[in-house]
Structure 1
Amino acid sequence: MKKALFMILLISNAIFAQSNVGVDTSYTVKSTYAKLIKKYPFITIPQEQNNGLIIEVEEVVYQQGKDRALHLDAFFYKKQKLNPAVIMIHGGGWRSGNKNQMHILAKEIALKGYSCFAIEYRLSLEAKYPEGIYDVKNAIKFIKDNARKFNVDPDKIAVLGCSSGGQMAALIGTTNGNSDFEDAAYKSKSSSKVNAIIDIDGVLAFKHPESSEGEMASFWLGGTYDQKPENWKNASALSHTDKNTPPILFISSSFDRFHAGRDDVIAILNQHKIYSEVKTIQDSPHSFWFFQPWFDETVTHTTQFLDRIFK
């Protein structure tokens, strides 16, 4: 009886801890649609499809902390035993958004012969930089540790992110093997190394002539540039791009500010003969990946790049 009571209290405390985490629900597909529909009256939200070829496993715990668990949702092509994996990071200014926003994109890419994973990570109301980076890297380790369960080839891992998630994807990929960006408390037999990066409208440098990052970045980075210059530099993928950086695909909107540092990164990649592509979605808004007709174009660019790198 005492043991049962203890377990109930333990579970209750965990739920209470999770409920006390601040949640910003301002960035959703619905709210973004409402903002864009007047300027782009032709847009539609793409419909989910599966066709029976995708196995879906949601709310998988990849990390159990003291206060709460972190989850991922898996969508994997079941006809192949070893698929390249795509780790998917949602946007929302490091503060809002959730992993469900990546589901439709994940399923569509999975249908092309991939295992896709929408990752929950701690946002800035709960944890500041670099904790969210640790979370996604731990998710990568977890997926590699359980590769057979998810039909994953652990030597073929891509990280894809949208907006702030794109910034995170680029940083995760450019810090392969950098212990400063690893969670020492997370025990795994696998590394968080990735073999390709897909940055969808995410900045590559926070302090840069092309950048206009301000309040949202400052909140995540623990202060303004004047207060935390080391964070602003270290959180920028441009600061870490070198001969060890994997191939990168940049899918960009028509807004230049979301591409800050991109050309500098490409120049470094070119020096080391590392493959990169830039695909610009003409006349598109930020968050174009949520909507048709740009959704299909995003999928095409992504899968063509992944096929080139992995297949």
Structure 2
Amino acid sequence: MNLLFKMSSLLLFVFCCTPNWSQGQTSESTYNIIDIYKATKQNYDSAKMITPLITEDIKYDENIVYKKTRQKKLELDVYSPSKKSKKLMPAVILVHGGGWLTGQKENQRVMAQHLALKGFVGISIAYSLSLEARYPASVFDVKDAIKWVRKNAKKYKINPNQIAVLGADSGGLLATLAGTTSHLKVFSTDDDISEKVQAVINIDGIVSLVHRNAPTENSMASIWLNGSRDKNEKSWMEASPLQYVGEQTPPVLFINGPNPEIHAGKSDMTTLLKIFQTYTETRTIPNAPPAFWLMDPWFDMTLDYSVNFLNKVFGRS
């Protein structure tokens, strides 16, 4: 199959790092921090590796099964501050990128650990990739992860009223979709546990697949959404978070790279959030490479923007 990724240079990068997907292999191990760094270093001399933390200041609880599907067991990692606190802590659920086709929860492990050092409970999750289960499976996975966190809030000393979801690249769309639809039936499930989140962080993620400025050709989205935009526009529209912005949308932080094609509809979403008097921030990191959030010096910038936003939204000093 000939893949022409016009959505962004990041999706091009993902494809280049995933040579076997057309043979039915998920190849999630190829879209990882090490390979991303090696590819980026060829064009960005300032790029530096980020590595997982090993410190007694963090409690590690990894590879916990939060959901079983027909295809696999979905796992998550929980990182929390070791220092005991009388106050309940905010939680941040992290959703990795990879064009819905590849990627792994370990890509967001370093960010989750650094958030733990900042007083949050960082939770990096796996979800169903496109060759395992097509849309809307991954949307329900993210929502089920939110419910798992709320259900286990007491165990991890999480404030159930202070849950944020952070997503990067395609994970940014999933995170934003979860945040804008928690009160709607479109992706609802039958249990009584709330899937509501109190903040969304979108790191270079798409907010509309059908916006007038969005490219009409995106092969990875076509795989995820069971058909091209021309053949299955209903799903493309349904999977676009911009469609659902309203009074109940939580505060949103956009952290953008320089690629304008990724950001179709974000100014529209920002305008709507302001109309509904919902707090929002937009931070742009100029001259950043694809997947900038997985390498220094851009990782530190992404972390700082995220922590400052969450502290403001959750009223933390």
TM over 0.5: yes
Specify every segment of 5 or more residues in structure 2 that has no aligned partner in the other structure, as ranges. 1-23
How far apart are the structure 2 equivalents of 1:34 and 1:50? 23
Deviations 1:43-63 (A, max 9, x none): 111233353221110111111
**Which residue identity does 1:221 align to in structure 2?**
L
How far apart are the structure 1 equivalents of 2:144 and 2:189? 7
Match for residue 8 of structure 2? Answer: none
**Shift in CA distance, 65/219, structure 1 to aligned 2, threshold 3 Å:** closer
Match for residue 303 of structure 1? Answer: 307
1:106 counterpart (112, 115, 128): 112
Q: Identity of counterpart residues, as a percentage?
A: 38
2:47 counterpart (43, 53, 56): 43
Counterpart check, 1:235 vs 2:228: no
Counterpart check, 1:220 vs 2:232: no
* Superposed displacement of residue 67, structure 1: 4.7
How far apart are the structure 2 equivalents of 1:124 and 1:153? 32
Counterpart check, 1:198 vs 2:198: no
Contact 1:37 1:43 in 2 (8 A): yes
Secondary structure at the aligned position of 2:64 is classed as: strand
**Which residue identity does 1:200 align to in structure 2?**
I
* Superposed displacement of residue 183, structure 1: 3.5
How far apart are the structure 2 equivalents of 1:121 and 1:272? 31
Match for residue 257 of structure 2? Answer: 253
Secondary structure at the aligned position of 1:23 is classed as: coil
Specify every segment of 5 or more residues in structure 1 that has no aligned partner in the other structure, as ranges. 1-20
How far apart are the structure 2 equivalents of 1:76 and 1:211? 38
Q: In terms of Rg, which structure is larger?
A: 1
Counterpart check, 1:73 vs 2:77: yes
User: Following superposition, which runs of at least 4 residues in structure 1 exceed 4 angstroms of deviation?
Assistant: none
Match for residue 8 of structure 1? Answer: none
**Shift in CA distance, 225/38, structure 1 to aligned 2, threshold 3 Å:** same
1:153 counterpart (135, 153, 159): 159
Secondary structure at the aligned position of 1:177 is classed as: coil
**Which residue identity does 2:293 align to in structure 1?**
W
Counterpart check, 1:207 vs 2:213: no
Alignment of 1:155-170 (within 5 A): 155-170=161-176
Secondary structure at the aligned position of 1:88 is classed as: strand
How far apart are the structure 2 equivalents of 1:182 and 1:68? 22
Structure with greater contact order relative to length (CA < 8 Å, sep ≥ 6):
2
Secondary structure at the aligned position of 2:154 is classed as: helix
Comparing 99-108 with 34-43, greater Cα deviation is found at 34-43
How far apart are the structure 1 equivalents of 2:203 and 2:213? 17
Count the aligned residue pairs: 289
Match for residue 61 of structure 2? Answer: 57
How far apart are the structure 1 equivalents of 2:161 and 2:305? 22
So what's the TM-score if we normalise by structure 1? 0.89
